[in-house]
A and B are shown apart, each in its own frame.
Chain A
């Protein structure tokens, strides 16, 4: 090892980090340059369309989606994943130190927060609404077209 590395131990580390970064960046840079030199980019409306299924892209697509499924994700975490983690703990519960109990409590309380959130949203009211029991309105008879 040369004297520079002995004087400053971070020198080797710096060279190492720079070479690692370059190893990542060089292929990207080469690919970029190669595309600029050899590639043929002809963007147009159809090529940049959002749909990739061949069908014509219909209405405006960049609208925000209402992500309502997250509430089921929370419920799943509370009632399924939490049980999964708590089961092995239950088998060694009596021999656990106080610190571990506190850790588990934090974990449980974090998920209970989700349960409280779902409760406040009224998601736990599994009530039967009479309107759902009504049979669907009779479908109009399909007319023969020809």
Chain B
């Protein structure tokens, strides 16, 4: 719908006109994040949920201590290879529809620990990430921006595509949880998710 018309209708008290909009409105404004933190980014995430930055404005303040009740995973911090199987298993245990925000340099790429033998170089090797937030750590405003970005992304979904999208996410989630091999996680990545550019060495 045209944005101007939408704004005019909202002034008249009409907020949704289609079932699709109603569905997305409900999903986008009641994201329930999984309550877990991995490193210093988690401190920023906690600050975001507190009164100064007030994540409740976006309906995403209900941090759930169980993956069964959560639909948003905020991977906040360094994912070590020791921790990665647990994080992936939690993602698998979340019911659909589920979304992932990779928060901070470590979660998106390994960050300052990228050269470390024990740090996963980006959680998007194992799960489909919806929003990446750069920063070390990102400020609470950046997390709020990521939530808003995710809400905009949800608002674009249609009821017809939803089931197909969710099944795709579930298909990726059904891939095996990585295990600790003798040198690295096995598998080191899910091939359907991670297609790195070939390194050009001059």
Contacts and interface: CB of A to CB of B under 8 A. Distances in A.
Interface of A: 38-42, 44, 46-47, 49, 52-56
Given A54-B86, A55-B86, A38 B162 contact: yes
B96 interface: yes
**Residue among A38, A41, A46, A54 with the highest chain B CB neighbour number at 10 A:** A54
A41 B174 CA distance: 12
Interface in B35-78: 36, 65-68
B97 interface: yes
A42 B36 CA distance: 23
A56 B170 contact: no
A42 B163 contact: no
B167 A46 contact: no
A109 B162 CA distance: 63
B166 A40 contact: yes
Given A46-B92, A47-B92, 7 more contacts: A39-B96, A40-B96, A40-B166, A42-B174, A54-B85, A54-B90, A55-B89
A36 to B, nearest CB: 12
B25 interface: no
B113 interface: no
Given A52-B66, A52-B67, A52-B68, A40 B89 contact: no
Interface of B: 23, 36, 65-68, 85-87, 89-90, 92-93, 95-97, 159, 162-163, 166-167, 170, 173-174, 177
A47 B67 CA distance: 9
B174 A40 contact: no
A96 to B, nearest CB: 49
A39 B162 CA distance: 9
Contacts of B67: 52, 54
B73 to A, nearest CB: 11
B170 A42 contact: yes
In the A-B complex, the 6 residue pairs with the closest CB atoms: A54-B86, A40-B166, A42-B170, A40-B96, A54-B90, A52-B66
7 contacts: A38-B23, A38-B162, A40-B96, A42-B173, A42-B174, A44-B174, A54-B67
Contacts of B92: 44, 46-47
